[in-house]
Structure 1
Amino acid sequence: MKKLLLASALMAAASTASFAMNMDAELPLSIKIEARALVPNADLDNLTEAQALAIANAVHGDQGDAAAQIRSILING
């Protein structure tokens, strides 16, 4: 069981790191669509790399209110 959890944690860390390396402050279209479904008037252009990664994490995270998280990221930078 511990090996399974460790493998899952390593894969999650690796996928996040590879996503961050390929980000170039531009959200992939699939994430933009999901984010705009949550926050219809969101301006997802000209994001910093940190904002783009945070929005992607909010869309695919399990912390609850992703719409509020996206609004906060866009307002607070």
Structure 2
Amino acid sequence: MKRLMIATALVLAAAGTASAVTDPGELSAPARMEAQRLVPNGDFDNLSAAQADAIRSILSSDEDARGGQIRSVLN
């Protein structure tokens, strides 16, 4: 019984970690919503990893021209 509980705990822990791994070319839901708020007509599908990283970096900055910067990344 003890082995079964340990095995179950390990499987659940591994499943939680695997679900936390995301595609580097995708933005998290909150980041995507913020980017879409700043650039309503932007196409945020099929981003490269570099584009997603750049958008995440822009979103974490305090600059006023974030929408324009995101547009330039998308082009």
The count of residues paired between Structure 1 and Structure 2 equals 55
* Structure 2 counterpart of 1:66: 66
TM-score scaled by length of structure 1: 0.65
Show structure 2 runs of 5+ residues with no match: 1-20
> Which residue matches 1:37?
37
What's the % identity of the aligned pairs? 42
In the alignment, structure 1 segments of 5+ residues that lack a partner are 1-20
Answer whether contact 1:39 1:71 (CA < 8 A) is retained. yes
Determine if contact 1:23/1:53 at 8 Å carries over to the other structure.
no
Aligned residue for 2:48? 48
Q: RMSD in angstroms over aligned alpha carbons?
A: 1.6
Equivalent position SS for 2:44: coil
